[in-house]
Amino acid sequence: MWRLLTKYLKPYWKATLLAPLLMMIEVYMDLLQPKLMASIVDQGVLAGDLAHIQSTGVQMLGVALIGLVGGVGCTVFSSIASQHFGADVRSDLFQKVQTFSFRKLEQFKTGSLITRLTNDVSQAQMFVQMLLRVMVRAPLLSVGSLVMAFTISVKLAVILIIVIPILFAVLFFIIRKGFPLFSKVQSKLDGVNNVLQENLSGIRVVKAFVRSDYERGRFGAANDDYMAIAVKANIVMASMMPIMLFLLNTSVVAVLWFGGQRVWDRSIPVGDLVAFINYVTQVLFSMLMVGMMMMNISRAKASSDRIQEVLEAESEIKNKAHAKEDAIQYGRIVFDDVSFAYEEDEVLRRISFQAEPGQTVAILGATGSGKSSLIGLIPRLYEADGGRVLIDGIDVKDMNLRSLRSQIGTVLQQAILFSGTIRDNIAFGKPDASQEEVEAAAKAAQAHEFIMNMPEGYDTVIGQRGINLSGGQKQRISIARALLIDPVILILDDSTSAVDMGTESRIQKALKEQIRRSTSLIIAQRISSVIEADKIIVLDEGSIVAEGTHRELMQSCGVYQEIYRSQLGKEDVLNV
């Protein structure tokens, strides 16, 4: 936690320093008030000196105003420091997540990352503000009041010497019990957010299959788990308050009991006893504030550990020193004995093939055969575990990531759009594109016609994840987005599965004219989509079982023949 504090508070050291200094002024003024009150009682009220009461009252008012300035100033500067701290941590977390590979994103889970960027950062931010206020005020006020109490009566101060260790013991015990629970609280909150995120993303499927009751049960289970551990944690921490209040009240009674006797035998003035009670109350309330802070410290410690876990996570995909810029010239792709696995599950085994510049290479195979994983290795969305992926003779691991990906147009299996206009989504990879360029890309993707039929055309605002568009419309906008950057390499991962065959045929025809110089890799479920490819690679259980043209595979590859028959009927394969 301290590494997080020192790193992110350092740029705001002035506010971080001024906040506790101003709090020290407020504490000093608060320590003066009981002494001045004692003076009013002893030298004013009991002596019948009205002038002394008035003059001391004015002093108390002046001290209170100075304390007010210190308190307000501390609040202002602690807010500046804590809010900037939170903003910077969130920003760095977000930037860190952008560097993660797909594998690392799957490791952390979306719901957990959302919790860390929101709730965990808020807990740490709240701790910073309290650190600069309460954690400065409470110790100073406690120590200062203890010293002032000793100056009034050493014998009565013995009561504090007895009570304070008991308070510390109670705090230590409760914190020791509470801290592990708050780590579990944040973990259970991850579970709630994961279920919520999945439900909102798939709400249409939930409604279509009438699974609302099941989803309510799933969310209820996660919510109940979170509630149970949160209740347990808060019960442990809440028990601190009545215990400490009991000790506070017991101490005040003891002071009144023994102090009253000393007033009776005139060994201590009444005003000093009043002041002593005030100092005792300040000491014990300061300890109470520390106790309350301990709950926030426990939460903040758990949250900061989770934040640090993300910040310290190293993605296996990063730029090498002196990585090559603009290395892709022609788009010749070579897979040289490439293997890849998720955890221990091997997905690709010794994959070797090449795609020449301008060639269209199709990848065909059953679900789970490794098609999407294979094409994800080219722009380094995943990292190969063995072998090499070469583009124009250079290993992609030796290329600058930004340069590599900026020259590859990728249309992923799931069409993802962002809130904003249709134009903004098409121009996502090239924000400065002209309207003519945007429309040309849309026309090639067969999207221009339906866009122009919308009320605002290219300025039509689409909802989150393109909720107000059909699956086929989203796919065509995704294709247009990839075409707009004029890629050297174009990757289409089952990107026309939601469009009708006529539209798909027009898209394929337009693509041939649009990207003649691009090397294209196409994943498709429909065999009709790949018949005219220059080369077809057939994957089966992570291995290449055959490659060639459609005619060659129909004559030599049983897997390909079976796919053809299942989709287009049992025509004589030799006459195709």
Q: Which residue has the higher pLDDT, 118 or 503?
A: 118
Section 518-536 average pLDDT:
83
Total of domains in the chain: 2
CATH number, domain with residue 177: 1.20.1560.10
Q: What range defines the domain where residue 538 resides?
A: 323-407+489-500+528-576
Note the pLDDT of residue 575: 45
Note the pLDDT of residue 435: 92
Note the pLDDT of residue 576: 47
Please determine, for residue 204, whether its predicted confidence score (pLDDT) is greater than 70: no
Of the chain, the percentage scoring pLDDT greater than 90 comes to 19
Residue that the structure tokens 């098409």 belong to = 426
Task: Indicate the range of 5-9, 190-194, 447-451, 543-547 predicted with least confidence.
Answer: 190-194
Angle between helices 240-264 and 270-312 (to 10 degrees): 160
Domain for residue 223, yes or no?
no
Residues 254 and 398 in one domain: no
Residues 276 and 350 in one domain: no
Please determine, for residue 573, whether its predicted confidence score (pLDDT) is greater than 50: no
Domain for residue 53, yes or no?
yes
Note the pLDDT of residue 215: 84
Q: Are 80 and 360 in contact (CB under 8 A)?
A: no
Task: Indicate the range of 104-113, 293-302, 338-347, 378-387 predicted with least confidence.
Answer: 293-302
Domain for residue 379, yes or no?
yes
Section 253-261 average pLDDT:
80
Note the pLDDT of residue 246: 82
Closest to 120 in 3D by CA, of 310, 306, 295, 312: 306
Note the pLDDT of residue 556: 85
Is 174 buried (19+), middle (13-18) or exposed (0-12) by CB count in 10 A? buried
Section 452-469 average pLDDT:
82
Residues 27 and 157 in one domain: yes
Section 147-156 average pLDDT:
83
Please determine, for residue 351, whether its predicted confidence score (pLDDT) is greater than 50: yes
DSSP per-residue letters across 524-543: -SSGGGTTT-SEEEEEETTE
Q: What is the mean pLDDT of the chain?
A: 84
pTM above 0.85, yes or no: no
Please determine, for residue 571, whether its predicted confidence score (pLDDT) is greater than 60: no
Domain for residue 167, yes or no?
yes
Q: Which residue has the higher pLDDT, 574 or 366?
A: 366
Please determine, for residue 149, whether its predicted confidence score (pLDDT) is greater than 70: yes
Note the pLDDT of residue 561: 85
